[in-house]
Structure formats: C-alpha cells, structure tokens
Amino acid sequence: MRYINFHTHYPPADTKPEIAIVSCVAPEPLQQCPPGIWLSYGIHPWYILHSNMTNLIEKVKTLAHNQQVIAIGEAGLDKLRGPAMDIQRQIFCQQIDISETTQKPLIIHSVKANNEILSLRKKRKPLQPWIIHGFNGLPQEMEQLIKEDFYLSFGPRIFYSDSKAANSLKAIPSDRFFLETDHTNKSISALYLRAAEIRGISTQELEEIIENNFRRLFGNIIE
C-alpha cells in the first residue's frame, strides 16, 4: 500500500509507504522534509496579524515558487476564530491570486464559511483547483461544492459512523476526494481502512482512486 496524506502538520516518520503534503503556516519557514514529502504554504486565518499583513503576503508570494511547495494554503475563512471577516476575506483573496499566478492548487480552511467560499469561487472563477480540507458538511452541502468543481479532503471525523463527514464520504464521487490526518495523531493507514469500509471497497481500490485524484491535481510528481 502507498498512502497519500493530503494535509498534515507533521512529516511522516517513514516516507516509503506515505506521501504527504505538510502544511506550513506563514510567517514560519518551510519545514525541512525529505524527497517525497511535499509542502503547502499560506496564511491561516487564525494567524492574520494586522501589523504585518503585507509582509506575510510577500513571504507567501516568495515561498510559493519553491519547488517543494505544491499548493497554497491553508488559507480561508473562519467564523469562530480570527479577525473580522472582511480582513480574513481580503487575505484569502490575495492568496487566491497567488494560487492563480503560480498555478498551484489552493487548500482551504473553512469553518462555518462554506457558503462564503462557494460564493467567492463563483465570483472569481479560478482556474486552479480548490480543496476544502477537513470537510465535515452534510451530503447536500458536499453536492453543492462538487457542482462548483471543489475537491474535499476528509479527516478523522470519518471514524464516527453518524458524522456528517462519514455520510458525505460515502456519497461523494470517486474523483473528488482525499484523506488527511490534519493535526491529529491518527494514522493515514487507519483513515484508509475506515474510508474503504464506509465506501464498501477494498483499500487497494481506494489507494488507486486517491492516487489518480492526486495526479489529476499535481501531475506525475510521484513515481
């Protein structure tokens, strides 16, 4: 088995069975990771600071060109934490521009803000893929996002059989999802086992589905 951990804050100890995108948050430097481990870089809405927004954006613009950075983010909107929504929206839109300029997908943090994110996508009409990480919405919400060409990444909430995430994962089209551990200590292999059980397929079939989705976004960066 080869696992793809779409969004994590901790580089895997063993890179042979696991490919990962490690999230780095501005203004922190890029993490030093071995080959096969990739990075995303962006301004998390929790850490937007009024006094250095320009510096943060400039740092993202610079590091976005690093070859190990394959995605921008996590960027987004959070209605429960962070500065005022107009400030969050301004910084998010600037990161949309960076994603488009560098032609790298955008990984999105969205808390109680999926409608706003959806509206921005319709308005901005980006060419780059948008992926909402840690998705925990109802299947109806999933369908609205998929209709607008989003990808969704599911995390440890799928371990709860009655969760919105598990119900949405069961119904989502095969070409639209990823799995992630985020900031938890859950293993990506356990997430694959649980996701295969939810979808009623083998882990080998799930491996092929997720790898195909990964290649669709990032090309042949994995062997």
- Model pLDDT for residues 176-217, shown as the tens digit of each residue: 999 999 999 999 999 999 999 999 999 999 999 999 999 999
182 is in an annotated binding site: yes
pLDDT over 70 at 51, yes or no? no
Q: pLDDT digit string (tens) for 97-149?
A: 999 999 999 999 999 999 999 999 999 999 999 999 999 999 999 999 999 99
133 is in an annotated binding site: yes
Lookup: tokens for 188? 């990506």
- Mean pLDDT value of segment 3-31: 90
- Residue 158 structural domain: 3-218
pLDDT over 90 at 8, yes or no? yes
d(CA 10, CA 37): 11
Q: What is the pLDDT of residue 50?
A: 66
d(CA 93, CA 99): 10
d(CA 17, CA 222): 12
* Within a domain: 223: no
d(CA 126, CA 148): 11
Q: What is the DSSP letter of 31?
A: P
pLDDT over 80 at 16, yes or no? no
Q: What is the pLDDT of residue 52?
A: 82
pTM of the model: 0.96
β-strand 37-42 against 18-25: which pairing, if any?
Answer: parallel
Helices vs. strands in the chain: H and E counts, helices first: 7, 8
Residue 45 belongs to domain with CATH number: 3.20.20.140
* Within a domain: 198: yes
d(CA 86, CA 83): 8
74 is in an annotated binding site: yes
Q: What is the pLDDT of residue 24?
A: 95
Counting the structural domains of the chain, the total is: 1
